Structure 1
């Protein structure tokens, strides 16, 4: 019989796990331990040599476990399963999305370097780029959706930064406006600024699309970062992050993670494995609900504008990017309510089913006010430039029945 290659959703229950090594347990147990016993001193020496990069692993060498800061069965199996969705060579799981993002930036950037980044980005990322990295002599230079590679390169050159750029960091779709950035443009910029002595790395925050709806590595990206708290976790009961990419770059990420000590623990790893089993089912339902909600909002008299990828039309440059990079419009949308902060707050305060809370990608529908919440630390100038206005509301659509979500939105808008 011909060998069968299973789809990722079929492998989420079994891949990387051998029940015979865990008393036949059908699910991977929680390995709640700090350290692991070596069979011999020679074995321990061999494990450490590879772990600390003193030698490369032999072709058929089976490496064992050392210490849960370095490796743990729950994390290793989880990381192998996450690689399947994005077809990545390696994955590293972190204690939070921000620990994943900050580790990548600290590994590939040095004092005097410049980071080119898309605007807007998640508020925590914006803070790290504009408030934390400058303390270490690292500057950020933002670019917006619609700028061509030549325009970005011209701006870099005009500022005399061509030799200083070491990373292009892009969040697409952007939080909270759903603005799309062409990954081929980002790759072109990085390649133009690279030389034999300096590699410019392209890193994409894929949190808004999750592992299901967009696969940046297929578009020439070097690294993907996730807040695994969101769609990957999907139940609002854990905090985690992940980085995926090729082995060359991931070796550096893993090494810094080891010495920063910001890897996730076994309990978080176990919860994420549980969540991966239903990831496609959850995300598919959330996406179908989002279509219904976005269409309702589009025709509502108290709504000025809906920012939803499913409403993009042919002829719009954003539509071309959408069709090239994504397989679905996703389950995140924002809208401008008529009025200002007062009207936005009235809407949010009168929701009955949806929860007024930050975060996204979970089973329950969430609503928040970016300008005063998730993006409150973004400069006022950037908020105006990027459309993060006082009347902008962000929705993360969950798995409830779409008619109930729409009823809740309808009754809340009636109070405005």
Structure 2
């Protein structure tokens, strides 16, 4: 039994937790405390040395508890469990997905640097790259999934920015179009832009696939970010983010998190641990439902086009990327309704079961209008070039009975 390899979904129930340290409680309690008592002054000194990055943790050294801004049992156990899915060295949990994303960007970018990013990205990420970072002298250069390695590098060289790139940031599948980016190409670009005095880091937003269906660290990424609000949390009752990856980079992320103070609290950590126990069951059901919904939409006379990874044409670059990087088509889809904003709004306003709300990955199905909601701040030029039009509707499919979801879509389309 001791030699048995347990799958992540099995280890989500117990990994990293010792009941004997918590009065035998089968579930980890909520450690609702701000600070922790040291056994000695020497112990306190040793803990702080590691926490502040003054030295590396020694082999077999137990990292002690100091203060809940630095560490807390609920967060530590949660972070250990999240590492299992992506086979990451370390994980850091944040108060939101945007705090995870912004912390990574602030750690690896300095005034004068350039961030190379995929387009489209989530609207909040787009705003941070194009509206916030320039205020600190950091510029963004976007690329699409139709560009080759040579075209991406060439575009940077035309601006004289190839020596300035410090971070390659990729969101794949992209929100809201499901555009796929080949992570092998992204890694090659980063390697070409790196040299002995500059290492270009690759960070991937894997929120659309959750920890289950894509593992970017196996395809050249150094870091992975999640809005843990989505599939990891999965119940629309918390806000959180996570960064996972290789130890040297994670040490830097953790250190900045310590001083920005944007880690999640113990209550959020406890809720996320609860959610991880059903992650695979929930996501599997959502994916099964999405196949039926996508097939229905593809045949509907009032639907112009469906953006769903399960409908990719074979013998295309997108299909080859899908087969290489993903194990499932996921539970997110978008579609172009025939018409424009008026028809899209009529559809959204007549939904009865599906909720009109932003976010995704939760147990309930959600619908929204990216052009005027989640991606409203994206530039008009970018919206037009990457297909975020007035006729685009985004759906996050939940765990309801698929026939009920389809009935709701059908009756709402009748009003368009």
**What TM-score comes out, normalization by structure 1 length?**
0.99
Aligned with 1:407: secondary structure? helix
Deviations 1:223-269 (A, max 9, x none): 00000000000000000000000100000000000000000000000
Q: Distance in 2 between matches of 1:202 and 1:53?
A: 23
For 2:190, the equivalent position in structure 1 comes to: 190
The CA deviation at 1:317 is 1.1
For 2:55, the equivalent position in structure 1 comes to: 55
Deviations 1:113-169 (A, max 9, x none): 000000000000000000000000000000011211111001111111111000110
1:92 matched to 2:78? The reply is no
Counting only pairs closer than 5 Å after superposition, residues 282-361 of structure 1 correspond to structure 2 as 282-361=282-361
For 1:221, the equivalent position in structure 2 comes to: 221
The CA deviation at 1:60 is 2.0
1:107 matched to 2:85? The reply is no
1:261 matched to 2:261? The reply is yes
Runs (4+) of structure 1 exceeding 6 A deviation are none
Q: Distance in 2 between matches of 1:130 and 1:114?
A: 11
Q: Distance in 2 between matches of 1:93 and 1:304?
A: 40
Counting only pairs closer than 5 Å after superposition, residues 4-403 of structure 1 correspond to structure 2 as 4-403=4-403
The CA deviation at 1:2 is 6.7
Residue segments in structure 2 that go unaligned for 5+ positions in a row: none
Q: Distance in 1 between matches of 2:60 and 2:342?
A: 64
CA-based RMSD of the aligned residues comes to 0.7
Q: Distance in 2 between matches of 1:118 and 1:49?
A: 38
The CA deviation at 1:63 is 2.1
Say which is worse superposed, 310-319 or 360-369, in terms of deviation. Answer: 310-319
Aligned with 1:371: secondary structure? helix
Q: Distance in 1 between matches of 2:55 and 2:178?
A: 45
The CA deviation at 1:342 is 0.2
Aligned with 1:175: secondary structure? coil
Deviations 1:310-358 (A, max 9, x none): 0012112100000000000000000000000000000000000000000
**What TM-score comes out, normalization by structure 2 length?**
0.99
Say which is worse superposed, 303-312 or 51-60, in terms of deviation. Answer: 51-60
Aligned with 1:286: secondary structure? helix
Q: Distance in 2 between matches of 1:28 and 1:321?
A: 40
Aligned with 1:128: secondary structure? helix
Q: Distance in 2 between matches of 1:134 and 1:310?
A: 38
